[in-house]
Amino acid sequence: MKHYRLNILLAALAVAGCKKSEPAQEQPRPAEPKKHAVGLVTDVGGRGDHSFNDSALRGLELWAAGVAFEGSAYKPVTREEVRRSLAEDVARLEPPVEPLGVRPLVVQSKAQEDYEPNLQLLVDQGAALTVGVGFMLENAVEAVARRNPGSKFLLIDSPLLDAKGNPVKLPNVRTVVFREEEGSFLVGALAGLVSKKQVGFVGGMEIPLIKKFEAGFKAGVKSTAPKTAVLSSYTGTFDNVAAGKQIAQDMLAKGVDVIFHAAGSDGLGVIQAVKEARSSGKEVYGIGVDSDQHHLAPEAMLTSMIKRVDLAVYQAARDLVEGKLAATDVVLGLKEGGVGYALVRAEFPGKAEALAKIEELRRRIVAGEIDVPSNSAELEAFQAAP
């Protein structure tokens, strides 16, 4: 009996020991933090313009969300892919551009009537920040922002304006505008140094915003080649590739050898015309706009006037994530890194001296020594820098 009791006691101790050695039950994992949804409504140029809209999409999708749109869906990208997409000046920024983990919501607009319902759709889908890309969305952003005071908005390329055209503020809207004339001045100065005949400017809609590009470009040409003529023409749209190509072909036939466009998707036609002329043996160049458009015609592009829409969108998304998105009116020029020009890959006589001249002009604009004109009246009074 004693042995029987002893065996029972040992068995009980063994069971107790086994229980102590069992691993604790796995605790439920904390829920992953909810991603901020950031919505974006394109203007009528839409995705694939290789310019203004694609720049905004790069800032949201590639930089802020860390994804790329392929086919009809997003795929994750690596940090190295993000890094390779950064121009040198952006790569040097502190804090660095790194994916923020936001969730992108993008709606493309086919007509101006789409702007307001598209913006409201994104708000209804839970966007913590909704971006209107382009001055043509100004009225729509204001209307939707007033209707949804608890939502935040970013308007690119225009301040909010009242019925008389005077700037107004709303507590839930950040606006970003650019000194396009400053970047256009630099590419105009380069065009003046490269051209052997005359240069051309192709605009989209003939409005004050695009007139800033034209005025800056003409002033830049005047600063380095005061005797070089500048031909200007407008397509009247931002989504007619054929119209851009026809105007560029007409200019090339008149002897223009460098063409700068600020025409949205119409500019794709300008670049195509220059590419075809170049392939036929003509020594002509195109100058792109908003994004680096070198890849569209590597042998024919001189440079591009860069407008950092991507950075404006990314910085707003970062401020949202960090809880400090303020309803401010932001102005970005050369000094702020908001405009500039793309790497000049083309080879031409006197390239080193030309680029040194452009950098000197950049320095003087940033220092306030050159006041770049932004309209026809200021251009008329502009005196080329010695």
Residue with tokens 């800033």: 212
* Cα gap 57→64, rounded to integer Å: 10
Q: Which two tokens stand for residue 61?
A: 């999708």
HSE of 98, CA atoms in CB hemisphere, 13 A: 4
Query: What DSSP state is assigned to residue 72?
Result: T
| pLDDT, tens digit (0-9, with 9 covering 90-100), for 163-179 | 888 999 999 999 999 99
Please say whether the beta carbons of 215 and 376 come within 8 A.
yes
| pLDDT band at 385; cut points 50, 70, 90 | low
Q: Which two tokens stand for residue 372?
A: 């770049």
Question: Token digits for 316?
Answer: 């707003």
CA angle 140, 141, 143 (to 5 degrees): 65
End-to-end Cα spacing for the chain: 116
Residue located via tokens 């080329």? 384
Q: Write down the pLDDT at residue 62.
A: 97
Rounded CA separation 156/133 (Å): 5
> For the segment 231-282, what is each residue's pLDDT rounded down to a tens digit?
999 999 999 999 999 999 999 999 999 999 999 999 999 999 999 999 999 9
Give the pLDDT confidence of 68-102 residue by residue, as tens digits: 999 889 999 999 999 999 988 899 889 999 999 99
> Which residues, 6+ apart, have CB-to-CB distance to 284 below 8 Å?
252, 256, 257, 258, 259, 274, 277, 278, 300
Helix (H) / strand (E) element for 165: namely none
pTM: 0.88
Torsion (CA) 247, 248, 250, 255 in degrees, nearest 10: 150
Domains in the chain: ranges and CATH: 37-178 (3.40.50.2300), 181-307+349-381 (3.40.50.2300)
SS3 of residue 210 by DSSP: helix
Q: Residue 199's pLDDT band (boundaries 50, 70, 90)?
A: very high
Residue 15 has pLDDT above 60, yes or no: no
